Amino acid sequence: MLEILIAVLAFFRAIALASEPSNFEQRTSFAAADNAPSLNVSSCPGYTVVSEQHFTRGLIIQLALGGPSCDAFGRDIQNLTVEVTYETLTRLHVNIYDSEKAQFTIPPDVIFLSSGEDDATLTTRSDLTFHYTSRPFEFWIMRRSDPHGTPLFDTRAQSLPPTPIPPVIPTDNGTALDGFPLVFEDQYLQLTSALPLGANVYGLGEVLASSGFRRDVGTNGGVGTVQTMWARDSPDPIDENMYLPSFTPQKLVLTCAASLSYGSHPIYLEHRYDQRTKRSKSHGVFHFGAAGTDIMLLTPPASPVSLIQYRMVGGTLDFYFFSGPSPQKVIEQYGALVGLPTWQPAWGFGFHLCRWGYRDVNDTRDQVLKMREANIPLEVMWNDIDLYHDIDLYHALRDFTTDPVSFPPDQMTTFIGELTANHQHYIPIVDAGIAKLVNASDVYDPYTRGNELDVWMKNPDGSEYLGQVWPGYTVFPDWFANNTRVLWTEALRNWSSSGVNYSGIWLDVNEPSSFCIGSCGTGANLTAATIPTMFFPGTPGNLVTEYPEGYNATIWGPSGNITINGTLTFGNHSVSKPLSKRGLGAAADPDANLNSPPYALHNADGFLSTHTVSTNATHANGVVELDVHNMWGIMEEKTTHLALLDIHPGKRPFLISRSTFPSSGKWTGHWLGDNISKWQYMYLSIQGVLQFQLFQIPFVGADTCGFQGNTDEELCNRWMQLSAFMPFYRNHNVRSALSQEPYRWDSVANASRTAISIRYSLLPYWYTLFANASLHGSPPIRALFFEFPDEPELFAVDRQYLIGRDLLVTPVLTPNVSTVDGIFPGQGRVIWRDWYTHKVVDAAISTNTTLNAPLGHINVHIRDGSAFLLYDKPAYTIEETRQSPFSLLVSQAADGYAFGTAYLDDGESVPPTPNTTLTISARKGEVVVRPSGDYEIAQVLEKVVVLGAASERPSFVSINGLVVKQWDFDVSLQRLVISGIGVGLHQSPVVITWH
């Protein structure tokens, strides 16, 4: 929501320079030069083993510094402890921490990790084995089944290239590799592992990478990756974060930044293919820590190996290893550690609509009515900050309020009541900063109550920390304080009672975002206007006026249409601004201090406190923001989730949040942030969704048609189709941009109706996939190699994806085309059928096949051996759809095999709750549906479609032994269609036979 961030930062920096320095700026002098760090690890001595002690599930190793301190970026810690724990057959925990336990570690009451099994035999039965040397201490991880193979993780110097190595990425001095010792200092930790040359690495986000879902390790024409873990409010940068000035008190610093925006997920999956056996195995590596981190994926010139290097500005080296061996197993094993995803309510899978710029409650209502008139299903209506927005009132834009003129509470009550009566839902936004009261006549209960409960973040001297966000000067909830949950629950409950009877909550700017550096309200004139009106999109000085991507008004005139006189208007006439590269930053600045750690992270904002809460802000438990910054979002998510459970007991909380962290999926879903209305961002949304499957936050999606800038008809048409086959499906755009509700263009409306109808018919399949995610951690959306791990041609594919194991989606991601290329996995051993026609695809083996894809059509294909329970009559809302009778779609393999399951419950209660699973199995001439569970299924099975049923027309069809007369058979498709069945599914098996 910050398109003009540069101007905002410049404005507030001008304010800061014209006033007294903030508490933050007063503390930016560093120690005397003779105590400055060396900024080079080449002389660091590493560590040696002092003692070893075995215990039931592993061993404890004591380490001592192996020589004189190097103090490269801080003070060397003399004594370390290494705890090696075999937690399960597939999970190994290696935790390296300072023996005095002075370094920050994440408290278990914030993020609880499973401790595994209490089984002494795991040390001899585990899939993974731990090995180490003593002088220096180095370790490596092997598979028990392959004791002589390549280690999965290997910190030995002998396995890494010789150092020193000049910058591997020539434009970034920070990629110089001075040495690979284990470094453990109070403000700098370093650990390096060898990787196979050109390793297939996935994860390490949140990121939008031009290299794709598979990360760039610096081979095959790539340069490598620097992934920075420092949550920041940046609108979806690609590879290099957006060029922004970083204002330090000393000077302007420019930094080279890896692509990181809202969340931090230091988990990666590596997939290894054995050329000799033609088989693959996957494993996973997770670093559990909140400290700001650079993770390097590099391949030095002429090196026989690639490498991964972790550089942290605090915390400990707490690693978990997962043995897989399949990609899905790695993801499930990670979920078993950090916690499985929250259960989604059934209505959450409907189509959602939002706009930052709806003028008032009547304008919002009007969008609902126009969607109904266009017969485009709408499940959830959202409001952005317009809900509390009055541009002329500087006391506006406050959480938990409604504008008294535009969105008065009584009218909101009526409007939301209308939605509820139509089985629709309403969701408002909640921002991170809470407005500070600036005069005695002002009234704002959340701030006053927060003062009473003492829940705001503090400056080091104990005063309120004051940032600047949309309401002006703001305070920030301290999630470590004892009473913050009380405040948050009261505020949400009071808001609902006042008329905003929401069905879920949207958490935004919770990195958290702040528009100034430091506690900028400390000592300032708090009654002064702090957010000039021109900073809001849609106001004079900040209108969204650019034409849609690819449109050239000098050639085609001012209309902006998809075609003019039948000629397509998208062309290479618009020039993108190149992204600027910057140097490593202020590592050698003698004035650096704890607020600007000696090791300069590749943060695109440079100064770590730019555009967020300062690193020296203090929490109730004495922890400073530097150590816990990346966890702000998850702590808000957890508190909000628990508050919603308190307000609506027994109902599944529905949350969408921007900033996330490991285990966020237990509390929330995610949207991919403030993307841009360009074709590239539609493509990038696929890798974003795939990443979050790995991160165990599977309910995720993009702002469909794009948030920033102006979309056009063709882009929105294609994007509405694509997002219909993603978990979270919402159309959302910025103030003053062209309206992009799907009814605005006839072609988009038609495409949307078709895609949403398929989505709603597939609701039992979606619902089952997410039940499996919540029960087992299985990813609902899958990269092609997840299901076909031994096919190297699939390892880099991210322009297609699978829904579960059985649906292949091949979207159009470029303009001006009527065909699309896609690969069909299985190397010729799998039969793929078209969703729409049921025809078998004549697919090329291990290479692309060209598919017809006229505007309004998205290619979806069905895998053989699959069976789907569908809603036979998808309706306008999820509730109405769930009343529909069922149908079966079975796609038999050549031997007649097919299998599928469907998990059914009431769609809203927090489990454990009554549920029934239908198991669908097939063999030649037979399909059987078996129910198991205690949820009563009211709807009947109305229709059955079997693909690949027989090569000749059957002579006999029966259901549960009774002859069926109402059926049809298409020889060319080998398709058997049985209709008008009306059979119940609740108590006994349904057996369908034919011969």
DSSP string computed for 444-485: -HHHHHHHHHT-B-B-TTSSBP-EEETTEEEE-B-TTSTTHH
- CB atoms closer than 10 angstroms to residue 677: 27
Poorest-confidence range of 231-245, 476-490, 774-788?
231-245
Which of the following is catalytic: 76, 511, 625, 636? Answer: 511
Q: Is 466 exposed, middle or buried (0-12, 13-18, 19+ CB in 10 A)?
A: buried
The yes-or-no answer on residue 508 being catalytic is: yes
CB 771 within 8 A of CB 882: no
Rounded average pLDDT over 6-18: 39
Tokens of 960: 């549960």
Say whether 29 sits in a helix, a strand or coil: coil
Residue that the structure tokens 């004495």 belong to: 622
* pLDDT at res. 619: 96
Say whether 700 sits in a helix, a strand or coil: strand
* pLDDT at res. 964: 95
* pLDDT at res. 565: 64
Say whether 722 sits in a helix, a strand or coil: helix
Poorest-confidence range of 510-514, 562-566, 794-798?
562-566
Residue 543 has pLDDT above 90, yes or no: no
Residue 567 has pLDDT above 80, yes or no: no
Four-CA torsion 255, 258, 259, 265, nearest 10 degrees: -120
The yes-or-no answer on residue 714 being catalytic is: no
pLDDT > 90: percent of the chain: 81
Residue that the structure tokens 């035999």 belong to: 121
pLDDT, one tens digit per residue, over 808-822 is: 999 999 999 999 999
Rounded average pLDDT over 518-545: 75
Confidence of residue 243 (pLDDT cuts 50, 70, 90): very low
For residue 508, the one-letter residue type is D
Residue 252 has pLDDT above 50, yes or no: no
Rounded average pLDDT over 854-858: 98
* pLDDT at res. 383: 97
Four-CA torsion 244, 248, 250, 252, nearest 10 degrees: 0
Confidence of residue 390 (pLDDT cuts 50, 70, 90): low
Which of the following is catalytic: 233, 674, 787, 864? Answer: 674
**Whole-prediction pTM value?**
0.93
* pLDDT at res. 528: 72
Spatial distance between the Cα atoms of 211 and 683, rounded to a whole number of angstroms: 12
Confidence of residue 534 (pLDDT cuts 50, 70, 90): low
CB 240 within 8 A of CB 579: yes
Residue 19 has pLDDT above 90, yes or no: no
Spatial distance between the Cα atoms of 212 and 85, rounded to a whole number of angstroms: 34
pLDDT, one tens digit per residue, over 455-468 is: 999 999 999 999 99
The yes-or-no answer on residue 798 being catalytic is: no
Spatial distance between the Cα atoms of 183 and 190, rounded to a whole number of angstroms: 5
Residue 973 has pLDDT above 90, yes or no: yes
CB 748 within 8 A of CB 713: yes
Rounded average pLDDT over 583-608: 61
Spatial distance between the Cα atoms of 764 and 745, rounded to a whole number of angstroms: 30
Tokens of 254: 């420019």
Closest CA to 339 of 736, 870, 695, 847: 695
Residue 387 has pLDDT above 80, yes or no: yes
Q: CB under 8 Å to 64, separation ≥6 — which residues?
A: 47, 48, 50, 78, 79, 80
Rounded average pLDDT over 325-331: 98
Exposure letters 776-804 (e unless 16+ CB within 10 A, then b): ebbbbbbbbbbbbbebebbbbbbbbbbbb
* pLDDT at res. 91: 98
- Which of the 8 DSSP states describes residue 181? -
Spatial distance between the Cα atoms of 15 and 2, rounded to a whole number of angstroms: 19
Confidence of residue 527 (pLDDT cuts 50, 70, 90): confident
Q: How many CA atoms lie within 13 A of 623 on its CB side?
A: 22
Confidence of residue 532 (pLDDT cuts 50, 70, 90): low
Strand partners, 380: 352, 425
* pLDDT at res. 545: 82
Spatial distance between the Cα atoms of 179 and 42, rounded to a whole number of angstroms: 5
CB 469 within 8 A of CB 380: no
Spatial distance between the Cα atoms of 840 and 994, rounded to a whole number of angstroms: 22
Q: Is 449 exposed, middle or buried (0-12, 13-18, 19+ CB in 10 A)?
A: middle
* pLDDT at res. 603: 86
Over the Cα atoms of the chain, what is R_g? 29
* pLDDT at res. 596: 80
The DSSP bridge pattern shows strands 305-312 and 293-298 to be antiparallel
What's the whole-number average pLDDT of the chain? Answer: 90
Strand partners, 513: 612
E strand segments, 775-883 = 781-782, 801-803, 807-810, 819-823, 832-834, 848-852, 859-863, 866-871
CB 185 within 8 A of CB 77: yes
pLDDT, one tens digit per residue, over 36-64 is: 788 999 999 999 999 999 999 999 999 99
Spatial distance between the Cα atoms of 422 and 416, rounded to a whole number of angstroms: 10
Strand partners, 851: 820
Which of the following is catalytic: 431, 508, 741, 791? Answer: 508
- Which of the 8 DSSP states describes residue 900? E
Strand partners, 279: 274
